[in-house]
Amino acid sequence: MGFEGADDLDKEGQKLPPQSKFRYNSPLVQVGLIGLVCFCCPGMFNALSGMGGGGQVDPTASNNASTALYSFFAVFGILGGGIYNILGPRLTLLSACSTYVLYAGSFLYYNHHKHQAFAITAGAILGVGAGLLWACQGAIMTSYPPPNRKGTYISIFWSIFNMGGVIGGLIPFVLNYHRSEAASVNDATYIGFMVFMSVGTILSLAILPPSKVVRDDGTKCTNIQYSNVTTEAIEIVKLFLNWKMLLIIPAAFSSNFFYTYQFNNVNSVMFNLRTRGLNNVFYWGAQMIGSIGIGYIMDFSFKSRRTRGFFGIVVVAVLSTAIWAGGLANQVGYSRGKKPEKLDFKDSGSDFAGPFVLYFSFGLLDAMFQSLVYWVIGALANDSEILSRYVGFYKGVQSAGGAVAWQVDAHNVSFIGQLIMNWVFTTVSYPLLLILVLFAVKNEGEEEEITKGKDVAPGSTKEVA
C-alpha cells in the first residue's frame, strides 16, 4: 500500500529515508490534525458541559442526557477500538463527529420547547459517536509518535484539543456578557458550538490511516491491515482478563467522574452565567499548561522511562491531594440546601478569587491526570491495533464512571459526598498505576513491542498466551 510523500521502502519493507517533521503523513502533522478535530468537536462539547447543566438553569435535562451519553459511551468506548481497526480512521471519525452537531442542536431545541426527549436521545447517539472518536484518537495519539516522545505528542494534542474549550468558553462569555442576570444561554451560543462541530466533522477526512504514516526516521507507525469482526470481538473479550487493563480500571473510572461535581456543583452553583463562561476559558487553558508540564516530566525528567513513570505518578498524586484538600475547604462553606450567592468576576471582588483559583486548579489536575494515564497506556505497546483496543477499554470504563456520576448528582447526593467520592477514586488509582509501570513498562533498550495477543505476567519474563 502506497502513501503520500514517501520514498520507496527498503528491502525489509520497514524503513524509509529520514524525512521532514511537517510532511502531511508525519506523526506530528497527523497528531496535530486529530487535535484540531477534537478542538472542534469534544472541545466545544467540553465548553458546553462546563457551563453546568448544558447552559440551562435547571440541570435535569443535561444530567439525564449526560447519563444516556456516558452509558452508551461506556459500551462503544470498549467496542470503539475494534470498530476503528475494521473501518479505519476516516470513516470512524466522520460518523463520530457528526453526532456532536446533533447534541448541540438538541439543546438549541430545548431552549424553546423544554422537552427532554430530544436531548436524551441525542445524548445516547453522541455516546456512540464519542466512543468511536476517542478510541480512534487514542490509537493515533499513542501509536503514531516515536516511543521516546509519546509524552510530548500527548501534550501537543492535549493543548490543541483544549484550546477548543478555551474558545468554546469565550463563546458563551461574549454572547452573554451583558446578560449578568440571565439563567440560560441564548440561541447564538448553541449555534456557535454547532458551527465549530461541523467544521471538525469535515476536517476528520484529512486523517490518514496508520499504514500511511511514516515517522521522521523512516519507520512506519504500523504494518497492520484492516481487521475483521470476529478477531476484534475475541480481542475485546480478552481485555477483561488482561491484568494491565484491570489495573487501569480505577484511574479510568475516576477520570470523568469528577466533571459532574466540578461543572455542576462548583462552576454552576457558585458563579453567574457570564462568569461561568470566563471560568471555562481558564479551566481549559489550565489544561494546556498541565498537559505541557506532565508531557515534559514523562519524556525528559529522567533517562529511564520507568523512573519517569514513577516520578510523574508521584507528582500528580501530590498535586491531586493538595487540590482536593482545597476543594474540601471551599465546599464546607455551602451545601445543596444552602447554596451561596452567585459570584461575578466584576462585582464580587476578592470573594471571587479563591473559588476561581480552585476551578482553575481542577482543570490543571484533569489534564495532568489524563495525560499521565495516556502515557502509561502508550508505554504498554507501540502497535496501533493493540493500543486502539487498550484506549477503547480505558474510554469505556471512563464513560461508565461518568454515567454513574451524572446520576449521583441527579439523585441529589450531597456536594461534600460527591467531593469525597472523587478524592477517594483518584487516590486509589495512583498505587495501581505504580504497579503497572513497575511490571509492564520497559526502559529504552529493552524489548519495546509486546507480541500481539500476548502479555507478560507481573514478575515474569516469560510470555503467556
Average the pLDDT over 121-150 and give the result.
Answer: 89
Half-sphere exposure of residue 228: CA atoms within 13 angstroms, side-chain side: 2
Give residue for cell 447554596: 339
pLDDT band at 273 (very low <50, low <70, confident <90, very high): confident
pLDDT band at 445 (very low <50, low <70, confident <90, very high): low
What pLDDT shows up at residue 462? 35
Whether residue 98 has pLDDT greater than 50: yes
Distance CA 195, CA 174 (A): 16
Give residue for cell 452573554: 176
With the C-alpha atoms ordered 39, 120, 96, 251, is the resulting torsion angle positive or negative?
A: positive
Average the pLDDT over 24-43 and give the result.
Answer: 93
**Domain residue spans in the chain?**
27-464
Going by C-alpha positions, the residue among 399, 255, 246 that lies closest to residue 320 is: 255
Distance CA 124, CA 141 (A): 26
| Class of CATH domain 27-464 | mainly alpha
Distance CA 65, CA 122 (A): 7
What pLDDT shows up at residue 225? 58
Q: What pTM, to 2 d.p., does this model score?
A: 0.79
C-alpha cell at 397: 470504563
What pLDDT shows up at residue 41? 95
What pLDDT shows up at residue 450? 41
Give residue for cell 452553583: 269
Whether residue 448 has pLDDT greater than 60: no
Going by C-alpha positions, the residue among 149, 162, 95 that lies closest to residue 360 is: 162
pLDDT band at 2 (very low <50, low <70, confident <90, very high): very low
